[in-house]
Amino acid sequence: MLYYLFEYLEKQFQFPGASLFGFITFRAALAVILSLLISTIYGKRIIGLLLKQQVGETIRDLGLEGQQEKAGTPTMGGIIIILATLIPVLLLCKLGNIYIILLIVTTVWMGVIGFLDDYKKKFKNDKEGLKGKFKVLGQVGLGIIVGATLYFHQDVTMKEQIPAETRQELLTANPNMAPSKLFQEEEHAAKTTIPFMKNNEFDYADLITWIDPSLAKYAWVVFILVAIFIITAVSNGANLTDGIDGLAAGTSSIIVLTLGIFAWVSSNIVFADHLNIMYIPRVEEITIYIAAFVGALIGFLWYNTYPAQVFMGDTGSLTIGGIIAVIAIAVRKEWLIPVLCGVFLAENLSVVMQVGWFKYTKKKYGEGRRILKMSPLHHHYQKNGYHESKIVTRFWIIGILLAIVSIVTLKIR
């Protein structure tokens, strides 16, 4: 809203300083500051309100040290993250940008699913919360909306660099040629980026056109299925990672900040040309959303680090996972998720392996056996006697290393 106000003031009155709102970097900086202020100042009031409503966490005894001390800590703190993200976004972003619209829808959509789950647990005394099938249905619904929008919307386009031979001829004839002349025309396509590959653009249509070239018109089906899978997997991964103080919020901050770098270089034709990556017009506005989101996560960490004064609950964890997944798909870096979101992946796999092995051994030997002392993975280390602060810090370090590897993929082919 402020963006449109200052744009009007600049055009009509040449208002001093109004032109600053035309710069992504300026609005991103404001978004970080505003979201930090909202999450830290008003976060305390929201925590007080949750305490007043007696929205305390019920801790099941898992035999972990210090676990029962957390009983009664307010949950549903994801409300802080959602509000601290959406308010700066509504004030500072171009609200007509399709990527911003998708992210706002994602935030509200996943926030409602998580809120309903937490609400049923705390106010309806239903330990199971929202039934799993309804959560999955919500994730699938969002995947359909995101996939269909990114495939069919007229403003979602991309540009690939022209073939290397033609590019070299043009540069030889005119070394100072503008980078925009070295890219093909904008196109709508179900294309993405494959890390570590020399020719790293991949068309999802190739997954079905090998059967019959005429199937290319159904590439949208493949793209939507991929979107559904990624959104479901990442949101569940974030949900499982939210098990000890500061782990999910801190890890997510690192992931989102890295995606912000990808969004920035993908939306800048000079950087895209230099790095030989896909240029995605209009995706730069995501940078402001990411700035607000990172500020909200860091502000939430003020109250969520050990010993936590508030837990995010499913309201926060499902929302965080959904946002990360949609940003990754929008900037065409979804195939980097196994690396960038390696912590989420490890938490997911630890549960799948633990449950799968337990069922297999119970059927074969008559008694269930375990790979880990407890899953998800962070609980295994707690069982081994590590303090949760040490576990969280080390997971953060691993997250930073994975983020660096992900960024390096821009040049490693």
Beta bridge partners of 203: 191
Indicate the number of domains in the chain: 1
Instruction: Print the domain residue range for 255.
Output: 2-59+73-408
The answer to whether residue 413 sits within a structural domain is no
Q: What is the 3 state secondary structure string of 137-152? A: HHHHHHHHHHHHHHHH
What percentage of the chain has pLDDT greater than the value 70?
A: 92
Structure confidence by residue, pLDDT tens digits, 325-351: 999 999 999 999 999 999 999 999 999
3-class secondary-structure state, position 203: strand
Q: pLDDT grade, residue 411 (50/70/90)? A: confident
Percent of the chain with pLDDT over 90: 53
**Which has the minimum average pLDDT: 11-25, 83-97, 240-254, 304-318?**
11-25
Whether residue 323 is contained in a domain is answered as yes
pLDDT at 200 over 80: no
Q: pLDDT tens digit string along 120-137?
A: 887 777 777 788 889 999
Distance CA 179, CA 143 (A): 34
What single letter denotes the amino acid at residue 376? P
Residue 65 domain-assigned?
no
More confidently predicted of 70 and 223 = 223
Whether pTM exceeds 0.85? yes
- Between strands 191-193 and 201-203, the pairing is antiparallel
Q: For 13-71, what is each residue's pLDDT tens digit? A: 777 777 787 889 999 999 999 999 999 999 999 998 888 876 666 655 555 655 556 66
318: in domain: yes
Is residue 216, in this structure, part of any structural domain at all?
yes
Note whether residue 256 is domain-resident: yes
Contact between 170 and 137 under an 8 Å Cβ cutoff? The reply is: no
pLDDT at 330: 95
Residues facing 327 on adjacent strands: none
pLDDT at 51: 84
Rg (CA), the chain: 23
Per-residue model confidence (pLDDT) at position 356: 92
- Better pLDDT: 67 or 104: 104
Question: In degrees, to the nearest 5, what angle opens at C-alpha 239 toward C-alphas 234 and 245?
Answer: 125
pLDDT at 412 over 90: no
Average pLDDT estimate for 257-263: 95
* Paired strand residues for 279: 159
H helix and E strand count, the chain: 17, 2
pLDDT in tens, 283-327: 999 999 999 999 999 999 999 998 889 999 899 999 999 999 999
220 in any annotated domain:
yes
pLDDT beyond 80 at 353:
yes
Q: E strands along 144-285, which residues? A: 191-193, 201-203
User: Residue 337: inside a domain, yes or no?
Assistant: yes
Looking at per-residue pLDDT, the higher value among 217 and 21 belongs to 217
Q: Is pLDDT larger for residue 382 or for residue 85?
A: 85
Question: pLDDT band at 99, cuts 50/70/90?
Answer: very high
